[in-house]
Amino acid sequence: MDAGYLSQLTPEKCQDIARRRPENTLVAVLDGRIVGFSCYGASDCPNCGEMIALYVLREAQGLGIGRRLMDAALSALGDSPTVFLWVLKGNRSAIGFYEHYGFRPEGTAREIRLGAPCTELRMRFDRNI
C-alpha cells in the first residue's frame, strides 16, 4: 500500500471512520489501547454478507486478535449463506489468514486507489460447504 496514503491514516481519522458505522464495527482493545478492528455488512449480492475490513496492528498480530474479530464478525453476519471480502493482491499473510477460515479466491479483481493504484481480489466463504 502506498506509504503516503498510510501516513495519512491517523488514529483520529480511523476513529472518525468507525464512528460513522458503529452498528457494524468491532474494536479490539489490548492494555487500554485500540489494536485492531473489523467492519462487516451486507454485500451487493442478495442475502450475502461482506467483511468490509479487518486490521490488527503488526505488534498485536499473533495473539489471536484477528481470529476473535473474524469470529465475531462472521457471527454477527448471522445466516448469510455466503460472505465475501476484498484483499490486496500480493498480501500473502492476509490471504493465508482468510484461507484458514475457508475463504477462497473467486477470480474477480478490481482496481482501487489507496494513494497509488492497487489491485484487490475477491474471496468468498460459503457456510454450507
| Count of CB atoms situated within 10 Å of the CB of 116 | 10
User: CA geometry: angle at 22 spanning 1 and 128, to 5°?
Assistant: 75
For residue 112, how many C-alpha atoms fall within 13 Å in the half-sphere facing its CB? 14
Band of the pLDDT at 80, cuts 50, 70, 90?
Answer: very high
Give the chain's radius of gyration (CA, Å). 15
The pLDDT value recorded for residue 42 is 92
Instruction: Indicate whether 97 pLDDT > 60.
Output: yes
Q: 14: which residues sit within 8 A by CB, 6+ positions away?
A: 37
Contact in structure between 99 and 67 (CB atoms under 8 Å): no
Q: Quick check: 3 pLDDT over 70?
A: no
Q: Which residue has the higher pLDDT, 115 or 58?
A: 58
Gap between the Cα atoms of 117 and 73, Å rounded: 28
C-alpha cell at 107: 477470480
Mean pLDDT in residue range 18-41: 85
The predicted model gives 88-92 an average pLDDT of 91
